[in-house]
A = this chain, B = another copy of it.
Amino acid sequence: NRPLVLVAGPCVIENEAATLRHAERLMSICNGVGIPLIFKASYDKANRTSVTAFRGPGMDEGLRILAKVKESLGVPVLSDIHSIEQVEPAADVLDVLQIPAFLCRQTDLLVAAAKTGKVVNVKKGQFLAPWDMKNVVGKIRSCENENIILTERGASFGYNNLVVDMRSFPIMRSTGFPVIFDATHSVQLPGGEGTSSGGQREYVEFLSRAAVAAGVDGVFMEVHEDPERALCDGPNSVRLDDLPALLNRLKAIDTIVKQA
């Protein structure tokens, strides 16, 4: 019965100033609502739909900025890792190592992340049944690491569409590890705009309320001060101005569910 956690930040590290500005506003919002924050931003978007899309500042510069966020604000930081080479430098800075959904079955990456002893957050692949996450958990536990988080971000539902099966929350929680709902990637329309993914920001509120009511340990959201100008995933990012009201509702729902 821990409090609901928020994992949030801009999709990609656009630059140092913008990243710090977003982190500060998020801290302030979360303090106001009374929800613990884990700050999230990616240093490299390794699987953009198009080869010409913006990918971020790269690992070295990105980790430098995330270390600064962590140091100056005292907030835990989370980012994606994509290869074994990234694990060690990332673990020097990050509090949570996140395994992207497409890579959730890559044994070597899971094992390398697990061996750092850091918290490992694995996004469930769009192609994976929720009960099959127990095998993913097994790969991490085989390294004596019990700091595991599992994240739901939608399952393939025909072409260019995802669906969130809310049965996945109790199923994944039955592993004994906390489960997070990624509210903004779950409303992506993968590849849905031809050379980029579309998104349906308008459903983030409905789905995140539903997930919290079903029962999760945290919510993950990509946010932006101005989503129309975001360099990545703008169509599904939540506007920072809309966040406080949404978090207040989520917290109230969480309170009821935890009384149950």
Which A residues are within 8 Å of any B CB, using their own CB? 46-52, 55, 82-85, 102-103, 105-108, 111, 125-132, 135, 138-139, 142, 155-161, 163-167, 169-170, 187, 190-191, 195, 200, 202-203, 206-207, 209-215, 245, 249, 252-253, 256-257, 260
Contacts and interface: CB of A to CB of B under 8 A. Distances in A.
Contacts of A202: 170
A163 B163 contact: yes
A138 B107 CA distance: 29
Contacts of A252: 256
A51 B138 contact: yes
Copies in the complex: 4
Listed residue (A108, A249, A256) with the most chain B CB atoms within 10 angstroms of its CB: A256
Given A166-B210, A206-B214, A213-B214, 7 more contacts: A102-B103, A127-B156, A128-B191, A155-B156, A155-B163, A163-B165, A249-B256
Contacts of A165: 157, 163-164
Given A127-B156, A157-B158, A256-B249, A49 B132 contact: yes
Given A108-B46, A157-B157, A157-B165, A142 B51 contact: yes
Contacts of A169: 206
28 contacts: A47-B106, A49-B105, A52-B142, A82-B106, A82-B108, A85-B85, A102-B106, A127-B127, A127-B156, A127-B190, A128-B190, A129-B191, A130-B159, A132-B191, A135-B191, A135-B195, A157-B157, A157-B159, A157-B165, A166-B207, A167-B203, A169-B206, A170-B203, A210-B213, A210-B214, A245-B260, A253-B256, A253-B257
